[in-house]
Structure 1
Amino acid sequence: MEGKEEDVRVGANRFRERQPIGTAAQTPDAKDYIEPPPAPLIEPGEIFSWSFYRAGIAEFVATFLFLYITILTVMGVSKSPSKCSTVGIQGIAWAFGGMIFALVYCTAGISGGHINPAVTFGLFLARKLSLTRTVFYIIMQCLGAICGAAVVKGFEKSQYEVLGGGANSVNAGYSKGSGLGAEIVGTFVLVYTVFSATDAKRNARDSHVPILAPLPIGFAVFLVHLATIPVTGTGINPARSLGAALIYDKEHVWDEHWIFWVGPFIGAALAALYHQIVIRAIPFKSN
């Protein structure tokens, strides 16, 4: 009953759950799972560990490959006078979603497969990462994105300038508020999917969940792109937006660039709060 009283205190359902959730799952009666402790805010010792730098390198390479493939896909669609002769918007969405699926699968065991500062920020708010690792990941993701876009421009400089370099901006007919809203909701969908697909308690209960985790994450990216490419070209990843904007470097892109940082970070924060407090009913400060 103590677990039940705690769940009521943090705002969970006052009636008994068939499957204990949140703090109820941390009582001695829960035999299959104990919630892992939150990551320390500052963990100086990890910067002396090779695994720390290996994870950062994995994030750099993954984001580099992500930008390289996706920007080339966007440019290929933009180049064709007839969208019927290219993969079209659906193909762009598949390129983004498919690359995330593949890269999360490849890097999940090394760095967690974030490939996105918004995902890293959301996991930090949920105390899954230390501030040290969060800052390091975001720096490496941004550097990887910049290098990926730079390599594309190096291979096809004239085409890169003409075709826009895959840089994000709010499309004609939409306001900046519409663009910001699209980025917030789109990132919420992505980060909430990440939380659900990687939930440790769910992994303990369903052995197939860790194996399938990259699939729903990639599929979420695919669906969000289908919905928001007409609005903003779809950012939902500040590193992706920064890399393309920095290498393309046109004034109109920078005028709206803040949307592709503010929107994803708000969306990630809302997803972290929703999953941790509402879905899992876990307080951010343990007793």
Structure 2
Amino acid sequence: MAASTVKSAPVRTEAEEAFRKYLAELVGTFVLVLGGVGAAVLAGQRIGFLGVALAFGLSLLAMVYTVGPISGCHVNPAVTLGMLLTGKMESRHALGYVVAQCVGAIAAAGVVLLIARGAPVGYSAAVEGLATNGYGTASPGGYSMSAAFLAEVVLTFLLVLTVLGATDARAPVGFAGLAIGLVLTLVHLVGIPVTNTSVNPARSLGPALFSGGRALSQLWLFIVAPLLGGATAAAVYRTLFRPVAQIRAATAERATDRERAERLASDRTENRTPV
């Protein structure tokens, strides 16, 4: 058997790595909003609350396994805040993540609107809402502002705590995406009648920009409440999962990259063709 040379992966600069992470977050958020908001706007009358909840959950489940290895698949500023506060990511990437998430959500909402306008009777985001989030008369069930705020805080807390726990080093390997996708489905089943379910400031921002009016005036709640829920989840996680020794985010990221490179090198070695 002849010896085979294993080529090492090209070394990327820090700027290139950061760009890959931001692009992954943009794509992941785009798919989440396209899948969830698209299902609500284009098929909501046919599939109902359960179908829309599953669309959001399945979109996130798919993205966890697709872009998760690159950026962690936050696709949500509240998740990014939770990761930041628990030391699971470097602070220098936080703003880039949030900007990428908002851009992805806006782009996806725009695509959904363009498709909806192609219907025989047309579509008006200002009139029909584009699956925006709201309270009072803008709530599907007419829930008050205080009820909407509480629901968004608690449901975001549940989502972010699940993300933090499922991605903990002590969690079962390979099942994070399933847990995260299912919990997003659950929070939508609970929250759709109350606020149309946000738990994600980027998801709320995209449709609101195209709908304008009341959706924009109520947008503050769907930024503040999810961030508060994410921060609360981070505090609870740090109490429940406090490690014996704290590990810096940069160290953890380097370890993950090194392990991935070692696995790739091992795969190449095992798959060498004997001659």
TM-score w.r.t. length of structure 1: 0.75
Segment of structure 1 superposing worse, 267-276 or 253-262: 253-262
Quote the Cα distance in structure 1 between the aligned partners of 2:223 and 2:245: 27
Q: Secondary structure at the match of 1:211?
A: coil
Query: After superposition, what is the alpha-carbon deviation per residue over 1:229-269, rounded to whole angstroms, capped at 9, x for unaligned?
Result: 000000001000001101222x1112211110111111001
Quote the Cα distance in structure 1 between the aligned partners of 2:101 and 2:82: 15
Q: Which residue of 2 aligns with 1:261?
A: 223
Segment of structure 1 superposing worse, 273-282 or 134-143: 273-282
Quote the Cα distance in structure 1 between the aligned partners of 2:57 and 2:207: 18
Shift of 1:168: 0.8
Q: Which residue of 1 aligns with 2:258?
A: none
In the alignment, structure 2 segments of 5+ residues that lack a partner are 1-11, 249-275
- Between the two proteins, the alignment pairs up a number of residues equal to 228
Q: Is the 8 A contact 2:154 2:229 kept in 1?
A: yes
Quote the Cα distance in structure 1 between the aligned partners of 2:202 and 2:228: 15
Query: After superposition, what is the alpha-carbon deviation per residue over 1:184-229, rounded to whole angstroms, capped at 9, x for unaligned?
Result: 00000000001110001x04xxxxx231110000100000000010
Shift of 1:92: 0.5
Pairing 1:197–2:166 present: yes
Q: Which residue of 2 aligns with 1:25?
A: none
Q: Is the 8 A contact 1:71 1:152 kept in 2?
A: yes
Equivalent position to 2:96, from 128, 136, 139 = 136
Shift of 1:285: 10
In the alignment, structure 1 segments of 5+ residues that lack a partner are 1-45, 81-85, 204-208
Which amino acid in 2 is paired with 1:189? L
Q: Which residue of 2 aligns with 1:42?
A: none
1:26-37 correspondence runs (5 A): none
Q: Is the 8 A contact 1:149 1:243 kept in 2?
A: yes
Q: Secondary structure at the match of 1:199?
A: coil
Q: Is the 8 A contact 1:145 1:242 kept in 2?
A: yes
Segment of structure 1 superposing worse, 147-156 or 108-117: 147-156
Equivalent position to 1:237, from 178, 181, 200 = 200
Q: Which residue of 1 aligns with 2:50?
A: 90
Shift of 1:70: 1.5
The change in CA–CA distance for 1:248 and 1:47 in structure 2 (over 3 A counts) is: farther
Equivalent position to 1:223, from 175, 180, 186 = 186
Pairing 1:182–2:151 present: yes
Shift of 1:130: 2.0
Which amino acid in 2 is paired with 1:87? I
Query: After superposition, what is the alpha-carbon deviation per residue over 1:112-169, rounded to whole angstroms, capped at 9, x for unaligned?
Result: 0111110001110111222220110000000000001111112223325253211111
RMSD: 2.1
Equivalent position to 1:165, from 119, 130, 133 = 130
Equivalent position to 1:274, from 229, 236, 242 = 236
Identity %: 38
TM-score w.r.t. length of structure 2: 0.78
Which amino acid in 2 is paired with 1:121? L
Q: Which residue of 1 aligns with 2:61?
A: 101
Which amino acid in 2 is paired with 1:173? G
Which amino acid in 1 is paired with 2:133? N
The change in CA–CA distance for 1:284 and 1:168 in structure 2 (over 3 A counts) is: farther
